[in-house]
């Protein structure tokens, strides 16, 4: 039995055969702006569950705006919802805050909107746009939508409802600014700085595509909530996972600082001490790791240091997708698990890779599939595959980490004996297995950015990844699945894919299916914090 529950992520407000309605957090795009950018909430949902494989966008929200977002699941829903939005019969209510006094309690803005570079302006030759604003907010509705605004948590602020009667990009933001009440946090349009844009799609009313019954969806929000925490709360179910990236540098507004939640502990990372305002916001049980950019030549590795609270046990367990992993703050630079691979581990757990990728598991198969985890580290990929019914081979150049991996198997009720734990150089063993004619249905390649062994010498992912794929292809069964991943920041995504494609062509094999995956949403990408993790799933004939 798979250990992961079929429950939807916390952001889901409603689902039936035709509709999927979510509460999109601020800071998450509706969809990815390009192939190699971080997934939008649409992309992440579409590829998460087989029943969401045909999810369609019929409505969009700005990345900085939170709130109700509806997707169609069927052709009928897509036609109906598109018609309702086009005919402007969908009822939309946005909650917004401003620190400027509105001149009127109720007013309507009729002002055409025109794009001007990266923002929008009102202009006579723009697109027609109309927004109705009201400052008379029903207290009971407000209490249900945002209980924090009932308390005097944000003094001297004005609460308004904006109802867009047309659907232009940035419409409410531009119209509010045009009337002298720019939204709090909307510095692009003259608003006072705030941790987030204080604009929330609070209510959405529409007709059900199949029954034509009226439906109203509401989404709660508390604007004072830390945006980084709100983002994680949208897709991390605390009953399933207690470990994730809590702060990801500039992507969460803290350049150079990273914080991981690891069960009961937090692990911060930076090149020096954390800024005091960030440190004061963290928990009472915290470790800190000083980042060292050039570890070669140093005397050993630097373990995290206890900064607050009683020290952690030498070994402790965390949970991810209901799978347990052993961690330690006493084993050097790495603690035992790379959180950025959480979604890929989940794919092995469920056997579902993506909407456009056939399942890993074959119905009716009587023998377990064979999986090779070529740079196993503490065998996290292997544990997930084994829980899904695979027979795994974990290969690593460290006996210590392989022993750690065995403990991870036991921690999850798995007997290590049916599985192999192989010590040695990956290139050497790939050659051995190729000579013996041994093959695997799934091969996982997630090598370190840099490594060195007596058997192979120096390996640098940014220039040698194609060589690694070439060495692995002879042991990948026909129609098998290759998971290729790297965190080499200087290796551009297209060059990474080109190296892999070149190796496959040289081996006279073909790619039947391919799905590229960026880093997960708790590692948000921005210009100041660019993407580093690259993963591609390939079915190779």
Catalytically active residues, by annotation: 62
Q: Is 109 exposed, middle or buried (0-12, 13-18, 19+ CB in 10 A)?
A: buried
**How far is Cα 502 from Cα 515, in angstroms, rounded to an integer?**
17
Whether the Cβ atoms of residue 448 and residue 460 lie closer than 8 Å to each other: no
Element (H, E) at 176: helix 171-178
The neighbour count for residue 531, using CB atoms within 10 Å, is 17
Residue in 54, 84, 63, 73 with CA at minimum distance from that of residue 14: 73
Residues whose CB falls within 8 Å of the CB of residue 360, separated by 6 or more in sequence, listed in order: 347, 348, 351, 352, 353, 369, 388, 442, 481
Residue in 495, 504, 375 with CA at minimum distance from that of residue 445: 375
The neighbour count for residue 300, using CB atoms within 10 Å, is 8
Element (H, E) at 279: helix 276-281
Cα atoms in the Cβ-side hemisphere of radius 13 Å centred on 213 = 3
Chain mean position to CA 79: 29
Residues whose CB falls within 8 Å of the CB of residue 403, separated by 6 or more in sequence, listed in order: none
Residue in 208, 221, 217 with CA at minimum distance from that of residue 159: 221
């Amino acid at each position: 039995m798979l250990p992961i529950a079929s429950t939807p992520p916390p952001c889901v407000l409603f689902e039936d055969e035709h509709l999927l309605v979510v509460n999109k957090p601020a800071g998450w795009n509706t969809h990815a702006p390009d192939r190699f950018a971080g997934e939008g909430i649409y992309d992440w949902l579409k590829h998460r569950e087989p029943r969401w494989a045909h999810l369609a966008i019929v409505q969009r929200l700005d990345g900085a705006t939170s709130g109700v977002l509806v997707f169609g699941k069927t052709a009928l829903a897509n036609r109906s919802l598109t018609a309702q939005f086009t005919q402007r019969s969908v009822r939309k209510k946005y909650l917004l805050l401003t620190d400027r006094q509105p001149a009127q309690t109720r007013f309507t803005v009729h002002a055409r909107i025109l794009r001007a570079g990266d923002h929008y302006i009102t202009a006579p030759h723009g697109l027609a746009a109309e927004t109705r604003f009201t400052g008379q907010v029903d207290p009971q509705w407000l209490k249900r939508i945002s209980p924090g605004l009932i308390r005097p948590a944000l003094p001297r602020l004005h609460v308004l409802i904006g109802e867009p009667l047309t659907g232009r990009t940035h419409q409410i933001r531009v119209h509010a600014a045009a009337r002298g009440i720019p939204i709090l946090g909307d510095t692009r349009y003259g608003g006072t700085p705030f941790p987030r844009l204080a604009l929330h799609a609070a209510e959405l009313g529409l007709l059900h595509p199949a029954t034509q019954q009226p439906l109203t969806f509401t989404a709660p929000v508390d604007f004072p909530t830390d945006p980084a925490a709100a983002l994680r709360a949208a897709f991390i179910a605390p009953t399933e996972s207690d470990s994730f990236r809590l702060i990801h540098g500039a992507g969460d507004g803290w350049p150079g600082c990273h914080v991981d939640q690891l069960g009961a502990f937090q692990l911060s990372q930076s090149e020096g001490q954390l800024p005091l305002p960030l440190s004061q916001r963290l928990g009472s049980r915290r470790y800190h790791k000083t980042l060292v950019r050039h570890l070669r030549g140093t005397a050993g590795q630097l373990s995290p240091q206890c900064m607050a609270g009683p020290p952690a046990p030498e070994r402790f367990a965390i949970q991810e997708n209901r799978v347990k992993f052993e961690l330690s703050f006493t084993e050097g630079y790495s603690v035992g698990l790379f959180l950025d691979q959480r979604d890929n581990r989940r794919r092995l757990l469920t056997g579902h890779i993506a909407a456009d990728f056939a399942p890993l598991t074959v119905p009716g198969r009587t023998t377990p599939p064979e999986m090779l985890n070529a740079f196993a580290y503490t065998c996290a990929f292997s544990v997930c595959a084994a829980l899904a019914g695979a027979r795994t081979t974990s290969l690593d150049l460290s006996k210590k980490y392989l022993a750690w991996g065995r403990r991870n198997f036991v921690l999850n009720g798995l007997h290590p004996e049916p599985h192999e734990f192989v010590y040695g150089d990956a290139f050497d063993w790939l050659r051995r297995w190729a000579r013996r004619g041994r093959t695997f249905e799934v091969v996982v390649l997630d090598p370190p950015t840099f490594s060195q062994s007596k058997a192979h010498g120096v390996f640098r992912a940014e220039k040698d990844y194609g060589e690694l794929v070439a060495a692995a292809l002879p042991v990948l069964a026909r129609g098998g699945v290759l998971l290729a991943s790297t965190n080499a920041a200087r290796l551009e995504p297209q060059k990474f894919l080109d190296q892999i494609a070149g190796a496959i062509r040289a081996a006279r094999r073909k790619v039947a299916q391919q799905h590229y995956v960026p880093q997960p949403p708790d590692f948000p990408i921005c210009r100041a914090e660019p993407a580093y993790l690259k993963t591609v799933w390939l079915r190779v004939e």
